[in-house]
């Protein structure tokens, strides 16, 4: 799931959005998408655009895709 080197600066250096989505589902169940949305919101509020993009990708992994 992550590179064991100590050369990392942020969560996205340790895991992919699909792996983070799976971890959130295991921890939060049906509330996983909401938890990821809160992480994205906090990153936006704290002016951390790279973090926000990462968490939005996690949200996308957790949100059912609709067929048209």
pTM, entire model = 0.79
**pLDDT tens-digit series, residues 33-68:** 999 999 999 999 999 999 999 999 999 999 987 666
Question: Residue 6 domain-assigned?
Answer: no
Could you list the residue range(s) of the whole structural domain that residue 21 is in?
14-62
Question: Residue 41 domain-assigned?
Answer: yes
Q: How far is CA 38 from CA 33, 42, 65, in A?
A: 9, 6, 20
Question: Residue 52 domain-assigned?
Answer: yes
Question: Residue 68 domain-assigned?
Answer: no
Question: Residue 2 domain-assigned?
Answer: no
Question: Residue 22 domain-assigned?
Answer: yes
Question: Residue 5 domain-assigned?
Answer: no
Question: Residue 33 domain-assigned?
Answer: yes
pLDDT value at residue 2 = 47
Least confident of 1-5, 24-28, 53-57: 1-5
Domain count across the chain: 1
Q: What share of the chain is helix, strand, coil (3-state, %, to 5)?
A: 70, 0, 30
Which position has the token pair 């938890």? Answer: 35
Structure confidence at residue 11 as a pLDDT band (50, 70, 90): low
Q: Per-residue pLDDT for 5 more than 90?
A: no
């Amino acid at each position: 799931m992550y590179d064991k080197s100590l050369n990392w600066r942020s969560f996205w250096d340790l895991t992919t959005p699909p792996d983070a989505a799976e971890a959130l589902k295991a921890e939060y169940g049906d509330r996983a998408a909401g938890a990821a949305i809160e992480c994205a919101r906090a990153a936006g509020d704290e002016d951390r655009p790279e973090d926000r993009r990462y968490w939005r990708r996690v949200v996308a992994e957790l949100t059912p895709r609709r067929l048209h």
